Homo-oligomer: A and B are copies of this chain.
């Protein structure tokens, strides 16, 4: 019942209005694993160079995070540097050094090939399919992507989407992928591309899920001060997929709750640089935030017959 994640690990240099950090642990597989482990064991498939710091590796080490699929290649680790705007809603990439990630061809070892739950983080859609080809009987495939692949490998991405059960994508990318300017129409258009469910990440506005017969919205958990939004989307994926896979069945009820846990987990990540906030997430606080989201969204329509003329 564990989850395999295939994605990136890297060293991020991040500048936000709140400060700057250099070469901290980053990458989609890091955020995803450190969030999903609260729900299920995670096996990580990624590549780093021989310069990957011992401290970064120790950060990932956890009883619920299996690093046996972590490949260490001769060369340098993937590096990314970015700077966020004053309101943190946009960011500029200053530097991307793919290094060993450039020739990453995920090879799943025997133990992972039998996994039923897999998260294909934002990598080349051709590689995402290569991962699927190695899985014996994938049951729940969650896939992320980004505008770069939408524009440069659209055909390959569409091929991959045919084999994906749930697509996770942000609002702007959903519009770019489908050409629909209304986000919920874009979400529905995605359902005709293969996925039976799509989750649209809306940053500070939360997320919504569109299924064939389900539309569920969830606000972001309100954070006192946002320090660094890097990794919030992959953390959402970890909370969402972790909770969903743990509940085993995909029903209206489990999908709704999974979106809430996605929003809750993402709220920890934005509270500090890198994975710092996520590392401090504790069971009690996860539960408290989920309950607070319920409190933020519940209402009653009992008065309606009386007030509506």
Please report A residues at the B interface, Cβ cutoff 8 Å: 17, 37-40, 64, 86-88, 175, 181-185, 202, 204-206, 208, 215-219, 222-226, 243, 246-247, 253-254, 256-257, 259-260, 283, 286-287, 290-291, 294-301, 303-304, 307-309
Contact = CB atoms under 8 A, between A and B. Distances in A.
A200 to B, nearest CB: 11
B299 A256 contact: yes
Contacts of A222: 182, 184, 215
Contacts of A246: 307
A210 to B, nearest CB: 9
A291 B299 CA distance: 10
A299 B260 contact: yes
A63 to B, nearest CB: 10
21 contacts: A39-B309, A40-B309, A86-B181, A87-B175, A87-B181, A182-B222, A182-B226, A185-B225, A206-B217, A208-B219, A215-B222, A216-B296, A246-B307, A247-B303, A247-B307, A257-B300, A257-B301, A260-B299, A283-B308, A290-B301, A297-B299
